[in-house]
Structure 1
């Protein structure tokens, strides 16, 4: 009888539950830390008012949090339908599809909010690399890292063809160029900066590395 002292590796489901629990705990802690600014927009958002809700950072983040149960329901519905059809990795595919959209659209919406001089001030472009990093500050850099983080995290989980860091960096840079170009064309009183593109792409790449264990493969 083999009485080896080596303990068996924890099952994959257990690891998933632990990681999901840690993610929920982290999200709850972040919400608790910023609860007061978020609640300032709650009356306008609950009343369905555009001004003061969807045109503010606090309002968009609040509505994103409120919509989490609906997003979870969509994940469950997609996974249930795929499992009934015999599709493998139904939960992973469904979670990745909803996650990349739900985590990216609100962030892009925030970057497209017009400034006070929108439509009046001509578009501004900054093409010198690393010149604007000093003016961004920690909050600005952190925000730019998060814009395409969900895209970078979930795209390689869903699409094996994009499951590599260079491809995710290229995807993040391409999406960022599209956003910066749109800001310039629509004259949103924002600076279209090459540093935004660089930081956005780096954020997508770092997020992709964080999901490396769950990347899709050609075989799957």
Structure 2
């Protein structure tokens, strides 16, 4: 079994363990989510996390469908491409949704800026720093596996910083009752870069071939 597959399995185990540890708050949102209600599900952190976890089997099916279709068409390295594409989207959108979730004063409280580097970092706490590291971690991990143009640490940093800056600008312009902080951008970018380094073995080379030790076209 390939190393990448072991990493995917380990990630799923960690997700399952984390979901079990916080099962009680997640289950509080279950009735609203299962009933198809937007309020109380998709506008709450518990609801978004619950639905993200519940949707993992569908994401796995999508990966399989894309990979099988590409293999039938003779596309090189179909599994790696499919895992990377689905992983970028599925691992990023829920986190961005959470960061754009409006606060109680949304639309009333003016946008707030914090442009002094490292000033907010000391007030984030371990949970805040960990959450900010994860927001664009999936993009940093999977994007260079799919696109050779992103297969360098500086470019992954730029990708994370650029995406984070867009989110912070949206928070400010839309008056979501959140603080648009330069420290969020720095930590988001760092998270993307660290995740990219974790997947470096499988980055795509300049010729489009994977840089790892797996042969093209072999499922991973």
TM-score normalised to structure 2 length: 0.92
1:134 aligned residue (118, 122, 133): 122
2:94 aligned residue (99, 106, 111): 106
Quote how far apart the aligned CAs of 1:137 are. Answer: 1.1
Unmatched tracts of structure 2, length 5 or more = 210-220
- State the partner residue of 2:194: 206
1:154 aligned residue (142, 145, 149): 142
Aligned counterparts of 1:210 and 1:14: Cα–Cα separation in 2 = 15
Quote how far apart the aligned CAs of 1:49 are. Answer: 1.2
- State the partner residue of 2:175: 187
In the TM superposition, what whole-angstrom CA distance separates every residue of 1:137-165 from its partner, at most 9, and x where no partner exists?
11111111110000000000000110011
Aligned counterparts of 2:116 and 2:135: Cα–Cα separation in 1 = 21
Quote how far apart the aligned CAs of 1:169 are. Answer: 0.3
Report 1 or 2 for greater relative contact order, CA contacts < 8 Å, sequence distance ≥ 6.
2
- State the partner residue of 2:21: 33
- State the partner residue of 2:106: 118
Q: For 1:70-85, what aligned pairs fall within 5 Å after superposition? A: 70-85=58-73
TM-score normalised to structure 1 length: 0.92
Unmatched tracts of structure 1, length 5 or more = 1-12
SS in 2 for 1:192: strand
- State the partner residue of 1:57: 45
2:79 aligned residue (76, 91, 103): 91
How many residues align? The count is: 208
Aligned counterparts of 1:126 and 1:212: Cα–Cα separation in 2 = 33
Root-mean-square deviation (CA, aligned residues, Å) is: 1.1
